[in-house]
Amino acid sequence: MKVVFIRPSNPTGSGYLRSFGFLPVPLGLLQLAGDVKEAGDHEVKIIDMEADQMNVPRVINETLRFNPDIVGLALHATAAHNVSVSIAKGIKEMKPDVVTLAGGHHATFVPEEMLRNHFDVVVMGEGDETMMELVNIVENHDDLAKVKGIVYRDKDGTIKRTPPRPLMRDLDKLPMPAFDLVNREKYTFDVFGKNETVACMETSRGCPYACEFCSVTPTWGNSWRNKSNERILKELSEIKRLGYSWVFFTDDIFIVQPNIKDRMTLFNQIIENGLSANFIAQMRVDITARNPEVIKKASDAGLRIAFLGVESGDDETLKKLHKGTVTSLAEKAVKVLHENGVIVLIGLILGAPYDTFKKMMKTIRFAYRLSDLGADSVQFSIYTPLPGTRVFVKALKEKRLFTLNWDYYDVLLPVMKTKSNPLLVQFLQYYGNYTFYLRKWIRGKFVRSKVPERKLELLRRAERYFAGKLGHYVKEIVVSLPAGLIKTARLMRQGTLPSEEKLQELISSSKVIVYSETEEKRNRYFSIDD
Ligand code: B12
Ligand code: SF4
């Protein structure tokens, strides 16, 4: 079989690429390619729309040139929905016998919509074992009903769901990701220099928490699984051999309570085996704040950037978000990371249904406070009800959504009615982002004597990059902000509501927690705050 996997880009592209020149390898697709190769004698190609700055016709042409039997698109990001549909449509028109597949966080929760729009099969949640089976079933013209964990269109046109596939218990059984299918030089991290390249690696899957806005828990279940340290070291040495200078650990939470001891061992083993690289990881503030010795060891092993999901500067809001942390822990976490020479990127959310102007300003001021404690960079996102989450179901039931055009669900535009005016939320998002850096610059905190040496060197490199991008930032403020405000104002006026039938379909597809086998567990997850 000939299989093409595609990473689509969304209309606004990746915010990280625009701001930091950060584009990591498409790990999900490399993993799936590894899976397919393990499943049999199949040929695989990866097309990365983002890395190659491709438009839809070029993606279609390039796909067809390979003459594939199966084409799979990764729909993590909700905002990549429409682009993916256009790609599938173009491919199907030219080659109707191709089997089109969709997978990833978004596709999992809107399978009917995908199947009505030029996709033949949607793979729910974890795709590895499903993909290994699927490729052979398609090759043998066998019955799709035999494959667990998919939604597909039957020959008579009806939509069928097969029983859920249990999660893989042993992640060490995963084949190695097929890094040979991509060109390292395309995966860059320009903020630190032109030759910096970024690989991705997952050491675990899932998250034991259940923040109300996040689609990770519904996608992977409320469970957390990890690879053994031996397997992690094997993958790391392969990545090092390939010459990547940065490794982005894609784990939702890189250190969770049950694996603290294992992580300490891992960091020691990385040091002993000379496998240190520049590491980037996503962390919880509570675990970081409470385990400074682990952070020190992580930094010694190579942790250079930590993304902290701080979310809010208001404790009451954090409670409502079901974050399970408090602001004092965020302060401590930033300090611990900073003191250990780690660059700190903080993520904050504005525009939750219960956010008021006062609370949002409190969050912005909290970002300043964290900046004074050592936070280096900020990302203000707009609270977005993503398919699969309970806030999406709630917003649908309460008819709060302005639009179901997925292009707008890029976490940068307000898409629902809340207590605050969406235009204000959007303005504050820009205001928060830009004043954070302006303030830093004016106060001269960017490069200062108290910054640990490990971090200072990277910050100096970043400074040069940002200086070169001043034009881009001015354009963002002068062009993107007014354009965004106009777009939002139009959306608010339209306020298109889906038909009752569509509404019910979205609610029931979104309420499927892929790996929560019992009805009772599912109901418990969705009844929080109902
Ligand atoms: C790495 C990462 C990025 C990277 C690279 C993204 C990429 N497309 O490869 C960067 C930094 C560029 C990025 C950008 C963005 N991201 Co991001 N990102 C992640 C992250 C942390 C890890 C993804 C990953 O590599 N996982 C490991 C691999 C092995 O798993 P996987 O990719 O999920 O694949 C498995 C299954 O999902 C499934 N599968 C996936 N695709 C397919 C396709 C087929 C055909 C099949 C059969 C199966 C299948 O099988 C795979 C193997 O089991 C996830 C969170 C997470 N932990 O998943 C967020 C996440 C995917 N990102 C998210 C968001 C919002 C964004 C941005 C919109 C942010 C922004 N405003 O800029 C952009 C969108 C960019 C884009 N065009 O896609 C959200 C998506 C939520 C949503 N429904 O929209 C997530 C879930 C984070 C979150 N908790 O909210 N992201
Ligand atoms: S936001 Fe982070 S901690 Fe919360 S559920 Fe998602 S991945 Fe887990």
Q: Which atom of ligand 1 is the closest one to the Cα of 219?
A: 37
Q: Is 252 in the pocket of ligand 2 (CB under 6 A)?
A: yes
Transcribe 253-269 into DSSP letters: SSS-GGGHHHHHHHHHH
Q: Which two tokens stand for residue 460?
A: 């100096």
The predicted structure's pLDDT at residue 447: 58
Q: Which atom of ligand 2 is the closest one to the Cα of 207?
A: 8
In terms of DSSP H, where are the helices of 398-476?
A: 422-442, 453-468, 470-475
Q: How many Å lie between the centroid of ligand 2 and the Cα of residue 13? A: 23
How many Cα atoms are found within 13 Å in the side-chain-facing hemisphere of 133? Answer: 16
- Give pLDDT tens digits for 97-153: 999 999 999 999 999 999 999 999 999 999 999 999 999 999 999 999 999 999 999
What is each CA distance from 166 to 91, 102, 212, 401, 516, in whole angstroms?
Answer: 32, 19, 24, 33, 10
Q: Are 285 and 253 in contact (CB under 8 A)?
A: no
Q: Are 277 and 217 in contact (CB under 8 A)?
A: no
Lowest mean pLDDT, pick from 148-162, 235-249, 497-511: 497-511
The predicted structure's pLDDT at residue 14: 79
Q: Which two tokens stand for residue 388?
A: 């699969």
The predicted structure's pLDDT at residue 514: 66
In terms of DSSP H, where are the helices of 304-356?
A: 315-320, 327-339
Q: Is 4 in the pocket of ligand 1 (CB under 6 A)?
A: no
Q: With 70 as the cut, is the pLDDT of residue 34 above it?
A: yes
The predicted structure's pLDDT at residue 467: 87
What is each CA distance from 399 to 108, 424, 441, in whole angstroms?
Answer: 22, 21, 43
Q: Is 221 in the pocket of ligand 2 (CB under 6 A)?
A: no
- R_g (Cα) of the chain, nearest Å: 22
C-alpha closest to that of 284 among 316, 314, 323, 250? 323
- Using the structure block, give the residue that is written with the tokens 């999900």: 28
- Give pLDDT tens digits for 42-100: 999 999 999 999 999 999 999 999 999 999 999 999 999 999 999 999 999 999 999 99
The predicted structure's pLDDT at residue 446: 56
Q: Is 468 exposed, middle or buried (0-12, 13-18, 19+ CB in 10 A)?
A: exposed
Q: With 70 as the cut, is the pLDDT of residue 495 above it?
A: no
Q: Is 214 in the pocket of ligand 2 (CB under 6 A)?
A: yes
Q: With 80 as the cut, is the pLDDT of residue 525 above it?
A: no
The predicted structure's pLDDT at residue 160: 96
Q: Which atom of ligand 1 is the closest one to the Cα of 23?
A: 12
278 strand-pairing partners: 246
The predicted structure's pLDDT at residue 484: 85
The predicted structure's pLDDT at residue 520: 67
Query: What per-residue string of b and e applies to 216-250 under the rule 16 or more CB within 10 Å gives b?
Result: bbbbbbbebebbebebbbebbeebbeeebbbbbbb
Which residue owns the Cα nearest ligand 1 atom 19?
Answer: 250
- Give pLDDT tens digits for 278-331: 999 999 999 999 999 999 999 999 999 999 999 999 999 999 999 999 999 999
Q: With 90 as the cut, is the pLDDT of residue 353 above it?
A: yes
Rounded Cα distance between 294 and 391, Å, is: 34
The predicted structure's pLDDT at residue 316: 96
The predicted structure's pLDDT at residue 198: 98
Q: How many Å lie between the centroid of ligand 2 and the Cα of residue 346? A: 14
Q: Which atom of ligand 1 is the closest one to the Cα of 410?
A: 68
Q: To test the ligand 1 pocket, which listed residue (16, 53, 76) has its Cβ within 8 A of the most ligand atoms?
A: 76
* Whole-number average pLDDT of the chain: 93
In 91-224 the beta strands, taken as DSSP E runs, fall at 99-103, 121-123, 150-153, 159-161, 198-201, 204-205
| Strands 121-123 and 303-311, bridge-based pairing | unpaired
The predicted structure's pLDDT at residue 11: 84
Q: What percentage of the chain reaches a pLDDT higher than 70?
A: 96
Average pLDDT over residues 469-488: 86
Q: How many Å lie between the centroid of ligand 1 and the Cα of residue 76? A: 4
The predicted structure's pLDDT at residue 496: 65
Q: Is 182 in the pocket of ligand 1 (CB under 6 A)?
A: no
Q: How many Å lie between the centroid of ligand 2 and the Cα of residue 117? A: 30
Which residue owns the Cα nearest ligand 2 atom 2?
Answer: 252
Which residue owns the Cα nearest ligand 1 atom 44?
Answer: 103
Rounded Cα distance between 217 and 206, Å, is: 7
The predicted structure's pLDDT at residue 16: 83
Higher pLDDT, 241 or 11: 241
Q: With 60 as the cut, is the pLDDT of residue 530 above it?
A: no
The predicted structure's pLDDT at residue 529: 63
Q: Are 301 and 270 in contact (CB under 8 A)?
A: yes
Q: Is 384 in the pocket of ligand 1 (CB under 6 A)?
A: no
pLDDT band at 221 (very low <50, low <70, confident <90, very high): confident
Q: Is 450 exposed, middle or buried (0-12, 13-18, 19+ CB in 10 A)?
A: exposed
Rounded Cα distance between 503 and 397, Å, is: 8
The CA-to-CA distance between both ends of the chain, in Å, stands at: 47
Q: How many Å lie between the centroid of ligand 2 and the Cα of residue 317? A: 15
C-alpha closest to that of 266 among 304, 295, 230, 237? 230
Q: With 70 as the cut, is the pLDDT of residue 485 above it?
A: yes
- Greatest alpha-carbon span in the chain: 70
The predicted structure's pLDDT at residue 497: 72
The predicted structure's pLDDT at residue 492: 82
Q: Is 87 helix (H, G, I), strand (E, B) or coil?
A: helix
